[in-house]
Amino acid sequence: MIRLRRRVYLDNNATTSVASNVRKKIGAVLKNLYGNPSSAYRIAQDAAAVLEESRLSVAQAVRAAPEEIIFTGSASEANNQVLKSFLPDVGHGRTKIISSPLEHSSVMATLEYLGHHGVDVVFCPVDSDGRLNMEALEALADGQTALICCMLANNEIGVIQDVAKVVEIARRQGALVMTDCVQALGKIPVDVHSLGVDYATFSAHKIHGPKGVGALYVKQGSPLQPLIHGGQQEGKLRAGTEGLHNIAGFAEACRSIPDMLAKAGAVAELRDRFVREVAVLLPGIHVNSRAVQCLSNTASITFPGFENAELLAFLDYHGIGASAGSACNTQDNSPSHVLTAIGLRPEEARQTLRFSLSTYTSPADIRYAVSVLGDYLLRRNLPVTMVSPAQLDENMLFSGNLFVIDIRSGYDRRLLKGLPNSHQTAKAALKDSLRLIPGDKNVLVACQTGMDAPMAAYFLRSKGYRDVGFVMGGVLAWKLFQPELYRKFGDLNATRLEQGTGTP
């Protein structure tokens, strides 16, 4: 329907593109090594050999011994496994876990779960750059502390923590330390032995490897319970036939880490240029990724007065992928816990975007992104309006001045009813239906979850429609926020746009 000018991917902390050597390796493993590594015959043993070779490569990338590496299905799983090993009934005697408040949701949610199961979870404060307050940590750690959990580098603001210092404090109290190294790997050198931690977690898809595979480093002698039971794999600590193609892809990506580290300086230069050029676009723009020790690729920027969802939609329309905080939280509109922990007010957090570069990001990508941001912030292109489901009450829906276009697929429509008086059309058919859309009304585009409508709304803007909006979160969010209206008016008078129901 819409031809994008170019594509610029600035969300590498969410995930990265898969490197060509990794794709090749995965293909070769899928083709040739289909044996089950747990079986005894030659075909299977070839697979087992690649499994161990991969373990060695991942271990070498983080300076661990191969027997200290367990492959998992994701870093989220690895984080869960470590933390759930500290449930009180597992029997370590100690019941307290101290954590930084900036952890990934796979840690935060698991800590919440542990809190409901007898663990005393305590959060150590951070400063406005996100650095852990070591004096506070020292005061919180005591003889009841089983574990201190602190990520090496943060996914939203890039702050790098002094994990070796955390280990020093933990050891004085006989506590263990877990660190999430997902964002650090490939961006800064990671050496689990010199950090001194007991547990470290990693994910392949953040280093141009495949999705769906993680690794857990467990220092020899540190306690760990299986999360998934039912097999002998991974030293009986992670049951399930190994996804060898993913594991081999992970190992292949790890072999490129020296190259990624060598390019980190160039990435930092591009990131710094991006931040410098964006910061002068408008007064009041605020940079949150400003710690002295910060990932070279990450820029978290607050744009006062601009809703991040609207800005993201504008960037998306122009082919730029960025994010509002962690990818794991994009479906709800809650302010980022990381940004609020470093002192941003919820409304400031909702005005913040994260841009994350990779070694594949080019200077031209950065120039383009700065220019598109400038268009939006300086109103060189009038934006579309983001309509929250809370605004979609009876008054607005039946105002008479609203023309609702429902671009959902037939399948989505069977799952959920649409807004009343909506004009249904396929996304791809919008271009041919323009003559049916009145130019003198407020045009509101709705899709199922809010992912498709912004693009269509910008398309209509580009075709000269002045007042165009989209429903944030789509009809799904409308149903959740307005269950009564949904029940009463869902699908009321909905018609096909192509049948000429619009005013030509």
- Which one among 57, 74, 298, 308 touches ligand PLP, defined by CB under 6 A? 74
Burial of residue 274 (number of CB atoms within 10 Å: 0-12, 13-18, 19+): buried
Nearer to ligand PLP, 102 or 176 (CB): 102
Q: Which is nearer to ligand PLP, 207 or 404 (CB)?
A: 207
The residue from 80, 85, 155, 359 that contacts ligand PLP (CB under 6 A) is 155
Stretch near ligand PLP under the rule CB under 6 A, chosen from 73-81, 330-338, 369-377, 463-471: 73-81
Contacts of 478 (CB under 8 A, 6+ apart): 389, 392, 419, 446, 471, 485, 486
Phi, psi (degrees; rounded to nearest 5) at 286 = -125, 135
User: CB of 179: closest distance to ligand PLP in angstroms?
Assistant: 10
297 binds ligand PLP (CB under 6 A): no
Number of residues that bind ligand PLP (CB under 6 A): 14
The single residue among 180, 307, 365, 467 that binds ligand PLP, judged by CB under 6 A, is 180
**If 0-12 CB within 10 Å is exposed, 13-18 middle and 19+ buried, where does residue 480 land?**
exposed
Task: For residue 478, count other CB atoms closer than 10 A to its CB.
Answer: 28
Which of 182, 372 has the CB closer to ligand PLP? Answer: 182
Helix (H) or strand (E) holding 108: helix 105-115
Instruction: Assess 183 for contact with ligand PLP (CB under 6 A).
Output: yes
* Selected range binding ligand PLP among 122-130, 175-183, 191-199, 465-473, rule: CB under 6 A: 175-183
> In the complex, what is the shortest distance from the CB of residue 180 to ligand PLP, in angstroms, rounded to a whole number?
5
Give, as one character, the DSSP assignment of residue 58.
H
CA angle 272, 357, 295 (to 5 degrees): 65
Question: Is residue 289 near ligand PLP by the rule CB under 6 A?
Answer: no
| CB nearer to ligand PLP: pick between 17 and 39 | 17
Least CB distance from residue 156 to ligand PLP, whole Å? 8
Cα–Cα distance for residue pair 186/261, rounded to 1 Å:
6
By CB under 6 A, the residues from 132 to 151 that bind ligand PLP are 151
Provide, rounded to whole angstroms, the least separation between the CB of residue 234 and ligand PLP: 16
Q: How many CB atoms are located within 10 Å of the residue 243 CB? A: 17
Contact 156, 336 (CB under 8 A): yes
Nearer to ligand PLP, 209 or 383 (CB): 209
**Among 69-77, 215-223, 331-339, 473-481, the segment contacting ligand PLP (CB under 6 A):** 69-77
> What backbone torsions phi and psi does residue 148 show, to the nearest 5 degrees?
-115, 130
Min separation Cβ 22 and ligand PLP, Å: 15
CB 11 within 8 A of CB 321: yes
Q: Which is nearer to ligand PLP, 180 or 412 (CB)?
A: 180
Could you say which residues in the range 361-390 bind ligand PLP, by CB under 6 A? Answer: none
203 binds ligand PLP (CB under 6 A): yes
358 binds ligand PLP (CB under 6 A): no
Report the C-alpha gap between 51 and 58 in whole angstroms.
Answer: 11
- Could you give the residue numbers annotated as active site? 328
> Locate tokens 């949610």: which residue?
109
Length of the chain: 504
d(C-alpha 492, C-alpha 475), whole Å: 14
Q: How far is the CB of 181 from ligand PLP (least distance, A)?
A: 8
Q: Determine, following the binding rule CB under 6 A, whether residue 76 of this chain makes contact with ligand PLP.
A: yes
207: contact with ligand PLP by CB under 6 A: no
Q: Which of residues 303-332 bind ligand PLP (CB under 6 A)?
A: 327-328
Q: 202 vs 306, which CB is nearer to ligand PLP?
A: 202
Cα–Cα distance for residue pair 413/37, rounded to 1 Å: 45
Judged by CB, which is closer to ligand PLP: 213, or 402?
213
Per DSSP, which regions of 219-336 are E strands? 286-287, 298-302, 320-321
3-state helix, strand, coil in the chain (%, to 5): 40, 15, 45
Q: In this structure, what are the phi and psi dihedrals at residue 147, rounded to the nearest 5 degrees? A: -150, 140
Full DSSP string of 127-159: -TT--B-HHHHHHH--TTEEEEE--SB-TTT-B
Contact between 104 and ligand PLP by CB under 6 A: the answer reads yes
For ligand PLP, give the closer residue by CB, 179 or 442: 179
Tokens of 52: 């161990």
56 C-beta neighbours (distance < 10 Å), count: 15
Stretch that binds ligand PLP, among 178-186, 277-285, 308-316, 453-461 (CB under 6 A): 178-186
Note whether 477 and 448 are within 8 A (CB). Answer: no
- Minimum distance between the CB of residue 264 and ligand PLP, rounded to whole angstroms? 17
> Which residues are CB-neighbours of 469 under 8 A, at least 6 positions away?
384, 385, 386, 387, 442, 443, 444, 445, 457
Q: Does 214 bind ligand PLP (CB under 6 A)?
A: yes
> Which CB sits closer to ligand PLP, 151 or 267?
151
Handedness of CA 162, 167, 170, 176 (dihedral sign): positive
Residue 246 binds to ligand PLP (criterion: CB under 6 A): no
Task: Tell me the HSE value of 463 on the side-chain side, using a 13 A CA sphere.
Answer: 19
Smallest distance, ligand PLP to C-beta of residue 5, A: 28
Least distance CB 158 / ligand PLP (angstroms):
11
> Does 75 engage in binding with ligand PLP (CB under 6 A)?
yes
Interacting residues with ligand PLP (CB under 6 A): 74-76, 104, 106, 151, 155, 180, 182-183, 203, 214, 327-328
